[in-house]
Chains A and B, each alone.
Chain A
Amino acid sequence: MVMFLTELSSNKKLLCEIVPVAEADYKRMTKKKYSFDWKAEKQYDVYKIKLIGLEDILGLISLQYYDKEYRIQIRLIALSAENLGKHKKMGRVAGNLIAFACLAALKRYESLAAVSLIPKTALIHHYVTEYGFESTGWQLFLYENKLHRLLKKYGYE
């Protein structure tokens, strides 16, 4: 399993990891740098993505488990301020976070695993083309081959 980000200035592949957010992290997970009030997500499963050996948090994801429905819902994702827009430093950050949600679902629900999110309408097209999400109307989901394709693309399979 080799997960990496792309440093856009050098095109270098840098190894990364996704780990649970620690209590002490919440102090530096400010709204200014990570857009949302992450303390409000404490009741859910919040993970951070970082380069191996470094402490800087490059992005965050909040997940909610729906065990009876064999799915994980992505509640929130936000990349750090320096990884937004045209001048972002790293590529593949959000993709790695979404693939991580797929991995968590597969570990838990095996062949029934699904990942869902409720999108802003204007962003649906991009989630579908970039990550392979399928739409049910209100929600987008990844299941079966689409879920596995994303796992493969981000180095999990």
Chain B
Amino acid sequence: MSKKQIEKLFEQYSLEELAESFVFPVRLTKKQQQEADAELNAVLAKRRSEITPEFKKQARLLQLKFQMEDYLKGIRYDKQKNFGFFLRQYLQCIDKRSSEFAAEIDILPSELSQYLNNHRKPPKHIMVRLELHSQNTIPASDWYRVAEMETLHELATDKAIRKEQKLHVHAARV
């Protein structure tokens, strides 16, 4: 967009309307750009050095939430990304040891271990406890859908069960 075109927009619309509709290209000289970057990096470095452990935890938790949502939105099933995988990530985010976390959601460490290693399917109440534990950052429905992804995949790909169940279907739809 030429300078003339930008000036025309500034005549046509109010400043508020422009800011609600555009981020314009701003061309800086090399020196100006270096100055601008140095200024910004200095401010950000100072601010980053002041963040609290609580804020760090919350940011990690949100990152996990978005990671789960992206996975759930995706078309492809990933065997690695099961319930246990995301639960392990959750523990890392909140910086808790398994035994400590198990106590916080009122289950035995052995039960938690079964979920972490994907040896046991989590019941609904565990997903609700996870939601409450994250202070609603990660909803129970996301945990449920992650667990269901596996069931759906099994249902779609299990040949053995099809062979077995075929014996019970005496007529197929014509």
- For chains A and B in complex, what number of residue pairs have CB atoms within 8 angstroms? 126
Q: Could you tell me if B22 and A111 are in contact, using CB atoms closer than 8 angstroms?
A: no
Total residues of chain B contacting the partner, CB 8 A:
44
**Residue A45 CB within 8 A of the other chain:** no
CB distance from B7 to the nearest CB of A (A): 11
Partner of B24, one of A84, A94, A120: A120
**Residue A49 CB within 8 A of the other chain:** no
Known contacts A79-B21, A85-B12, A122-B10; is-contact A141 B66 (Cβ 8 Å): no
Chain B, interface SS category:
helix
Chain A residues near B5 (CB, 8 Å)? 35
Q: Could you tell me if B23 and A107 are in contact, using CB atoms closer than 8 angstroms?
A: no
Known contacts A85-B17, A94-B20, A106-B66; is-contact A141 B59 (Cβ 8 Å): no
List residues of B whose CB falls within 8 A of some A CB: 1, 5-6, 9-10, 12-13, 15-26, 28, 32, 35-37, 39-41, 43-44, 47-48, 51, 55-56, 58-60, 62-63, 66-67, 69-70, 137
A-B contact pairs, 10 of them (CB 8 A): A35-B9, A36-B25, A77-B22, A78-B22, A84-B17, A111-B48, A123-B15, A137-B36, A139-B36, A139-B40
List residues of A whose CB falls within 8 A of some B CB: 1, 31, 35-37, 61, 69-71, 74-79, 83-86, 88, 93-94, 103, 106-107, 110-114, 116-120, 122-123, 125-127, 130, 134, 136-139, 141, 143-144, 148, 151, 156-157
